[in-house]
Amino acid sequence: MSHVVNLDLRSFADFTGHNEQLALVDFWAPWCGPCKALLPTLDELSSEFSGRVRFGKVNVDEHPGKAQEFQVRGIPALVLFRDGEPIANLVGSQSREFLRGWLNKALESQ
């Protein structure tokens, strides 16, 4: 079961801010092939990191202002948040193993 939450302008701040968990936000679009290919990986990682990292996604076609706010220039773009502030980002489709290591490193530095 996917634990990747669809985010909109109202839910974004609550999702990314002021909680004890890291929040990973996937900026994507429905027409983007690499975005679609990344979703199963994010679904699996959301289960694996449940309770430690929250996973959400923002459709850049529906919310272009959010993409601009975080300087998203290409998709898929992954932005990792701690206490509402972006702490790391990646652009392009990444392997499950790479993302697992990236998230573990962020958790270790918490």
CA distances from 29 to 34, 50, 65 (A): 10, 24, 14
Tell me if residue 32 is catalytic. yes
- The residue from 3, 19, 29, 32 that is catalytic is 32
Does 76 sit behind a cis peptide bond, omega within 30 degrees of 0 on the bond before it?
A: yes
| Maximal C-alpha separation, the chain | 35
- Considering the candidates 35, 58, 60, 72, report the single residue annotated as catalytic: 35
Cα dihedral 70/71/74/78 (nearest 10): -30
Q: Quick one: tokens of 37?
A: 């290919």
Query: Would you name the residues annotated as active-site residues?
Result: 32, 35
